[in-house]
Amino acid sequence: MESTAASEAQEAQTPRAPAPPPSPSEPPAAPRARPRLVFRTQLAHGSPTGKIEGFTNVRELYAKIAEAFGIAPTEILFCTLNSHKVDMQKLLGGQIGLEDFIFAHVRGETKEVEVTKTEDALGLTITDNGAGYAFIKRIKEGSIINRIEAVCVGDSIEAINDHSIVGCRHYEVAKMLRELPKSQPFTLRLVQPKRAFDMIGQRSRSSKCPVEAKVTSGRETLRLRSGGAATVEEVPSEFEEEASRKVDDLLESYMGIRDPELASTMVETSKKTVSVQEFARCLDSVLGEFAFPDEFVVEVWAAIGEAREACG
């Protein structure tokens, strides 16, 4: 008994080693990697389905599509979303829904038409694909161009009077057409998109400007930018969509172009300003190459304000 008691006393006097810190039950969670963004694509006139990824702007998108189908990127005139038809309401702009299907419209036949400008306006609305090709987005009912059956919505304008305009932006092409003298014939060299059998004979026109169809799926879109990396963003708000539509309408009426991505950029710019004067200065710094007239900037500012009030 004495021996056992002495042993216990000795153990009590011996300092114990500190207990090791408790090990965490689970390692800290690693940050979740963003899923790969893979999009399905086809050639609009017919092809197997390809898959593309890793692009940040329209030029890179065209390069990826071209690689998938073994064609040159310059063969692609424009892309539509979720429709293989030449449907300008489904035209790919600066945003792609994460579940959208991309159809690439490639070069078809080349044609030349002679036009005599008997009025100030030809009745064309021009847009471009962001990669060097300007093309016809609308033909106004009853206009000069409307009377020329060979000219169709979706035709790319390759040359004016044998002067190549490949590489020109839509507003530059629209300005060239506006400045052509009246009563003097001129020649347009056009390239029509290659069509599937069910699209032959199709010719779209419009004298009105219907609301652009919403082509995104889900709650997020891939935003393509001319400068900088593409970003995944929430679908535009009701105000952003309404304001962008109003600005796009003004672009058409003032400049003869439609460009939803340009309109969206102008709406974004307006959010950072509190007066029309500040808005004008910001537009000059961001979009100075357009040289927007003062009266146009004032109307855009007013239209954005109307959209803000209407959407609360």
List pLDDT tens digits, range 22-75: 555 555 555 444 457 899 999 999 999 999 999 888 899 999 999 999 999 999
Q: Which two tokens stand for residue 299?
A: 């109307």
Neighbouring CB atoms inside 10 A of 294's CB total: 9
d(CA 151, CA 187): 12
Q: Class of the 38-193 domain?
A: mainly beta
- What does the pLDDT read at residue 195? 85
Tokens 């021009």 belong to: 126
Alpha-carbon distances, residue 195 vs 43, 103, 297 (angstroms): 10, 12, 39
- What does the pLDDT read at residue 32? 47
Tokens 């007239």 belong to: 293
Between residues 21 and 292, which one has the greater pLDDT? 292
d(CA 147, CA 294): 34
Beta-ladder partners of 128: 134
How many percent of the chain have pLDDT more than 90?
A: 61
- What does the pLDDT read at residue 94? 76
- What does the pLDDT read at residue 220? 74
- What does the pLDDT read at residue 233? 72
Q: What is the pTM of this model?
A: 0.74
Between residues 42 and 227, which one has the greater pLDDT? 42
Sequential DSSP letters for 1-30: -HHHHHHHHHHHHSPPPPPPPPPPSSPPPP
| Domain boundaries, given as residue ranges, for the chain | 38-193, 236-311
- What does the pLDDT read at residue 279? 95
Alpha-carbon distances, residue 135 vs 70, 193, 218, 259 (angstroms): 24, 10, 29, 12
Q: What is the mean pLDDT of the chain?
A: 83
Q: Which two tokens stand for residue 248?
A: 């796009």
Q: What are the residues whose beta carbons fall under 8 Å from the beta carbon of 274, sequence distance 6 or more?
A: none
Q: Tens digit of pLDDT for each residue in 242-295?
A: 999 999 999 998 888 888 889 999 999 999 999 999 999 999 998 988 889 999
Question: In this structure, is the dihedral angle defined by the CA atoms of residues 45, 159, 150 and 179, taken in order, positive or negative?
Answer: positive
Phi, psi of 257 (to 5 degrees): -130, 160
18 pLDDT tier (thresholds 50, 70, 90): low
Q: Tens digit of pLDDT for each residue in 87-126?
A: 999 999 878 888 899 999 999 999 999 999 998 889 999 9
83 pLDDT tier (thresholds 50, 70, 90): very high
Query: Which DSSP letter does residue 182 get?
Result: T
Beta strands in 117-246 (DSSP E): 124-128, 134-139, 156-160, 163-164, 185-193, 220-223, 231-234
Cβ atoms of 104 and 181 within 8 Å: the answer is: no
